[in-house]
Amino acid sequence: MIRAYTIASGKGGTGKTTVTANLGTALAQHGRKTCIVDTDIGMANLGLVLGLSDTPITLHEVLAGEAAIKDAMYEGPYGLMVVPCGLSLQGFQNVNLERFEDVMSDLTERCDYLIFDAPAGIGTDGVIPLTVADEVLLVVNPEISSIVDALKIKTLTETIGGTIGGVILNRAIFEGPGAYQEKIERILDMPIIDTVPEDQNVRRAAAAKTPVVIESPGSESSKAFRRIAAKLAGIPVQEEPHKVQEGFVERFARALFRRKP
């Protein structure tokens, strides 16, 4: 049975596209037939993040009634299916959002996991992905503006009959044990599924147009993305092998030569 998730946040720049690309890749690594879709039809960049440069047919053309969804699907890492969205203003203007339901039913026949990368804000284009998914996953950063905007998305989703599946805390900086995690769970009245730390490997991977789960698989952010994907797919989370305590010399060398952990 297919599971469809929408990655949303309300606030811009929280990491929705990063989460979508990495969860999609991690699910594909687990052998799950997965498709990720850029539903940020005004400010698309999921294809760019994955290094897909030659994509003449995108969700824009499909929603304009000019192409079929199968022609807008491109191959990403590990057989991940990627539906990018166009970058032009003209393409955006030609979109008819009423076609989204047909697109959705076509997609459900082609994969087991479907992940929609939602736009920021609460425009019409942002509302549709909130209704069509089985679960909306809220990406929040440890900032009050992000939490307040996530609360708006939660209320909006529930008002229009959608379901919130949980919260992914992204770009977390570990200051104290569970301090703001608890606060976020209290404000949003939702459990945090997992926490992805602020990690320079994510930015490095973005510059290389590769998901961090491939570029730096040993990084803490990659581990978090793999844990979340495993939870979504119902795969038992592999315990990390006991970590050997890093000594001062290793730590110093890593800092000096900027080695990846």
Ligand X SMILES: Nc1ncnc2c1ncn2[C@@H]1O[C@H](COP(=O)(O)OP(=O)(O)OP(=O)(O)O)[C@@H](O)[C@H]1O
Q: What are the residues binding ligand X (CB under 6 A)?
A: 9, 12-18, 40, 120, 170-171, 196, 198-199, 202-203, 206, 221
**Listed ranges 15-23, 61-69, 94-102, 181-189: which one lies at the site for Mg ion (CB under 5 A):** 15-23
Q: To the nearest 5 percent, what fractions of the chain are helix, strand and coil?
A: 45, 15, 40
Closest contact distance (angstroms) between CB of 227 and ligand X is: 14
Q: Which is nearer to Mg ion, 77 or 121 (CB)?
A: 121
220 binds, among Mg ion, ligand X, none (CB under 5 to 8 A by kind): none
Q: Which is nearer to Mg ion, 15 or 181 (CB)?
A: 15
Closest contact distance (angstroms) between CB of 185 and Mg ion is: 24
46 binds, among Mg ion, ligand X, none (CB under 5 to 8 A by kind): none
**Burial (CB count <10 Å: 0-12, 13-18, 19+), residue 34:** buried
Q: Which is nearer to Mg ion, 45 or 94 (CB)?
A: 45
For residue 168, give the nearest of 37, 8, 2 by alpha carbon: 8
Paired tokens of 194: 């997992």
Query: Per CB under 5 A, does 18 bind Mg ion?
Result: no
Query: Per CB under 5 A, does 17 bind Mg ion?
Result: yes
Contact 233, 32 (CB under 8 A): yes
Length of the chain: 261
Following CA atoms 168, 173, 176, 180 in sequence, which dihedral angle do they give, to the nearest 10 degrees?
-40
Q: Starting at the edge strand that comes first in sequence, how are the strands of the sheet with 164-172 ordered?
A: 74-75, 81-83, 34-38, 113-117, 3-8, 135-140, 164-172, 192-197
Closest contact distance (angstroms) between CB of 34 and ligand X is: 18
For residue 121, give the nearest of 208, 35, 14 by alpha carbon: 14
Q: Which is nearer to ligand X, 29 or 170 (CB)?
A: 170
203 binds, among ligand X, Mg ion, none (CB under 5 to 8 A by kind): ligand X
Q: Which is nearer to ligand X, 48 or 67 (CB)?
A: 48
Query: Per CB under 5 A, does 29 bind Mg ion?
Result: no
Q: Which is nearer to Mg ion, 3 or 16 (CB)?
A: 16
Closest contact distance (angstroms) between CB of 36 and Mg ion is: 12
How far, rounded to the nearest angstrom, does the alpha carbon of residue 120 sit from its chain's CA centroid? 13
Closest contact distance (angstroms) between CB of 124 and ligand X is: 17
196 binds, among ligand X, Mg ion, none (CB under 5 to 8 A by kind): ligand X
Closest contact distance (angstroms) between CB of 116 and ligand X is: 12
Buried-state track 67-102, b at ≥16 Cβ within 10 A, e below 16: bebeebbbebbbebbbbbbbbeeebbeebeeeebee
User: Using CB under 5 A as the criterion, which residues of the chain lie in contact with Mg ion when the complex forms?
Assistant: 16-17
